Amino acid sequence: MALEDAKTQVDHAFTREDLKGLSFENTFGGATSFLRRRYSKDLTGVDIAVTGVPFDQAVTNRPGTRLGPRAIREASALQSPDEPYGWPHAPLSSLAIVDYGDVAFDYANIPAFPDAVTNHIRGILNAGAASVTLGGDHYISFPILKAYAEMFGPMSLLQFDAHTDTWADDDLSRVDHGTMFYKAVKSGIVDPERSVQVGIRTTNEDTLGVNIIDAAAVHAEGPEAVAERIRDILGDHPVYLSFDIDALDPAFAPGTGTPVWGGLASWQAARILRAIAGINIKGGDVVEVSPPFDTTGATAIAGAHVATEIICLLGWNILK
């Protein structure tokens, strides 16, 4: 059946009639939406809207993450013919998922950018869908979290990252990918006691009360033990999952702006994500994929897998 479908399917990003189901068009051809989902601005009956925020004007080192959403979409074509491996449910066949396209913004009007993102995500949530966002640099999580806190109250943040991104900055007008979670905690949209940062391996003395499971602890304790600690911290609070691709060691994800050695291996991240199924996740993002430094495409592939796992985590709760 798959072979016969592959002979006739093309540009499922536009020609797909059903929001559910696999796609067997040639992975190397066609229009590249995320997982070959249909591009649509109609959120009627949609469970999950995948959307891009191609922004990298908040970076402190190497740019290029504005090209991340496009690269992640292209990489995701490798996964579109099959259900995600090892999950007991079939999210691509059972969930109504669309590619909602990218947020529209004026690249030269940075002060207006945060509100554009918040309004974009607010529209998805108000339609009854969850968002999975493809970045873009990590600043984008702050305006996204604002929309989630409006809907669900203060959020538990589950952050995979090499950096805490909680360096002090009381100027809310500054757009900086290293201070946005400081602002999120100080603004009351993130509950630090019910939040956890995984994979940290850079120094920041003031953690603002956020729980830290650094990279060394992941290596020493193992993914299953780390997942259990994460579940204990989060409890049943509403969770937003933000995965900075630099949580992975540069050996696995070299295409990012601020790589740090000693990070998570891909298999460790995959096992942790699988083992936290059942947390009260409401949405998530994968950020900091920078294609200009991703010479093999491995980082975009990792980003596509992370975004798919976020869909699976959302699906676990939607389909239970």
Going by the annotation, the residues of the binding site are 138, 161, 163, 165, 244, 246
Say if residues 108 and 55 touch (Cβ distance below 8 Å).
Answer: no
Alpha helices in the chain (DSSP H): 2-8, 12-15, 68-76, 91-94, 113-126, 141-152, 180-186, 215-221, 223-234, 266-275, 298-318
Binding site as annotated, residues for Mn(2+): 138, 161, 163, 165, 244, 246
- CA distance linking residue 20 with residue 268, whole number of Å: 30
Q: First vs last Cα of the chain: how many Å apart?
A: 29
Sheet holding 281-287, edge to edge: 38-39, 97-102, 48-53, 130-135, 281-287, 239-244, 156-160, 196-200, 211-214
User: Residue 157 belongs to what H/E stretch?
Assistant: strand 156-160
Output the CA torsion sign for 40, 128, 103, 244.
negative
User: Are residues 105 and 116 in contact, defined by beta-carbon separation less than 8 angstroms?
Assistant: yes
Partners of 197 in the β-ladder: 159, 212
